[in-house]
Amino acid sequence: MQVYKKLNFYKNGRGKFVFSFLLLFIFLSGCTSLNRQIESSLDSSLESSLDSLIENPIENLIESSIEFRAEAGIPHEEEEIAVSLPVPGRHVYLTFDDGPSPNTNRILDLLARYGIRATFFLVGDHILDNEFMSYEDAERIVQRIHREGHYIGLHSMSHVIARLYQSQNAAENFYNEMRELHELIYEITGEQRSFLYRAPYGTRGMFTREHIRVMSGSGFLAWDWNIDTEDWRARSVDAIMEKIAEDLDAYDSLPQNAVILLHERNITLEALPFIIEYFLEMDYVFMHYVPENHFMLNLLHNPGI
């Protein structure tokens, strides 16, 4: 499994950096006037960062979806943006499609051991009519995902290609399914209103012009991926790790945000510790989706959806 060590080149000397930083801090702490300059600079930098975040497209999303949210029972006066400063460094987002499943709890157990939060794109019919579990069990899984601080995204109600992409009213079906799932997640969690969706099979090659028209300004935001593990067809952990390394190698340098497409398969569960250690070794910070820090990521490169 040499592939897991492939990107050791990018690992930096974390201990040396921390030691150097401490020495610098001790020196600066004795310089009162310089400290005041630094504090002033930090205040100015923080103000600039907040201004930048307030101008984030998520604000436009909220403003454009007031009517939809009002129908969902959210008063207009609550439409304030909770500004959250991004965590510095490179970020990796583990995203799991098609749950809940018999493996969801195992995935959650593993993430808890690492102290990692992830993003779960759930399918409505897998909650309401799951062949492997009762509705009550599926509901408990959704509640656990939310309770443990992970983010729940929308992955349609049916996940059926013909209904979502090929029927006469496909675009309207797509929107209606996302809205229905939005309401279902809120009903189960009692508080989360998710406006993040992942199109089944991705937006590229599936979305028509009508899909783009309907979803633009709908109040929902698309999120695809930039690292595809292809775990849905992988027969070994090595195959998954090699595909991750291949996708990373396509970049001139390591991406600032790596959004990894995963599914809740047995092979995925087996590979997950290796994936986590792999990105930890490259000093990536594991993140779950945060609405206030939204960034565009769809395979159509379309900022409107």
Contact status, residue 123 vs residue 261, Cβ threshold 8 Å: no
Q: Which of 91, 150, 263, 288 is catalytic?
A: 263
Contact status, residue 243 vs residue 229, Cβ threshold 8 Å: yes
* Annotation says 97 is catalytic: yes
| Side chain identity at residue 299, one-letter code | L
Q: Which of 80, 290, 76 is nearest to 196 (CA)?
A: 290
Q: Which of 97, 224, 231, 247 is catalytic?
A: 97
H or E element at residue 185: helix 170-189
47: exposed, middle or buried (C-beta count within 10 Å: 0-12, 13-18, 19+)?
exposed
* Annotation says 263 is catalytic: yes
Token output for 128:
């309401």
Contact status, residue 206 vs residue 173, Cβ threshold 8 Å: no
Q: Which of 231, 235, 289 is nearest to 262 (CA)?
A: 231
DSSP letters for 247-296: HHHTSSS--SEEEEEEE--HHHHHHHHHHHHHHHHTTPEEE---GGG---
Q: Which of 109, 170, 173 is nearest to 145 (CA)?
A: 109
| Side chain identity at residue 124, one-letter code | G
DSSP letters for 128-147: HS-TTS-HHHHHHHHHHHHH
CA distances (Å), origin 99, targets 126, 138, 145, 272 = 7, 9, 11, 16
Q: Residue 155 forms beta bridges with which residues?
A: none
Would you name the residues annotated as active-site residues? 97, 263
